[in-house]
Structure 1
Amino acid sequence: MLEISTGKVVRVIALTREYGPDSVKLADYISGLNDDEKLNLVALMWIGRGSFEPEELEEAKEEARLEASAPTERYLSGIPSLAEHLEDALDKLGIDVTDEEDDL
């Protein structure tokens, strides 16, 4: 089960596209998420880039928990295709974000 709202994921995508994955605005936003939301964001990114399959979401979240050695915002800032990976993950999971995108 995904433990981050689609609105927050869409916000990360929008901030990444507008300011880049290494922006202070994106880092500040991600650092304000709770630990479960951060783990879910990393798991989504991994699913989007193909490291895990959509049905392996729980496994990806556990791996994110075990592998966490740096702040999430620092880890994700090093991924140039972050927005695309997150979009791909939402698509693979069959999550429609049209309403959240319209709200931005």
Structure 2
Amino acid sequence: MPPQDEDDEVDLGVSLEVIATIVDLANAVQSPEEGTMGDGDEDEELDDDEDSDDLADEDATLDMLTEYIDELNEDQQAALIALAWVGRGDYDAEGWDEALKLAYERNAKGTAAEYLVDMQGLGDLLSEGVAAFGLSVEEVER
């Protein structure tokens, strides 16, 4: 069972505000490509300048996401990794201590940002991980 504070709320080791920020950035970077190329109509073509602007925006957002995760402390980074694993179904809320222990080991070299940004659907995984504890990133004001 995850540590709990005196209000009987789950202490994930990272705030919901931080998780929500990472979810938003991850979703901006890893949004589905469907629809960006048109619906198959051969008369529709994307402007090359628009494509390069979109790629530049995506690269900037990816850099922001990576830097944001890199700036977090070791405990927060390990918690994010463990939450992603819970969200992916590798662990459940009852297995939090084990997931967190393994996440610390996984992040021993300090590569949490690289590891997390390479996860397919990171935003969804973190949202699902938080939901496993009865919390929601959707409730966080942005």
The runs of at least 4 consecutive aligned structure 1 residues that moved more than 6 Å come to none
**Percent of counterpart pairs with the same letter?**
26
Shift of 1:97: 3.2
Unmatched 5+ stretches in structure 1: none
**What aligned pairs does 1:1-104 form with structure 2 within 5 A after superposition?**
1=3, 2-20=12-30, 23-68=62-107, 69=109, 71-100=111-140, 103-104=141-142
Aligned residues: 102
**Larger fraction in helix:** 1
Q: Distance in 1 between matches of 2:137 and 2:104?
A: 26
Unmatched 5+ stretches in structure 2: 4-11, 32-58
Do the aligned partners of 2:30 and 2:121 also contact (CA within 8 Å) in 1? no
- Greater Cα radius of gyration, structure 1 or 2: 2
Question: Given the two structures, how large is their TM-score scaled by the length of structure 2?
Answer: 0.66
**Cα pair distance change 1:67/1:98, threshold 3 Å:** closer
Root-mean-square deviation (CA, aligned residues, Å) is 1.7
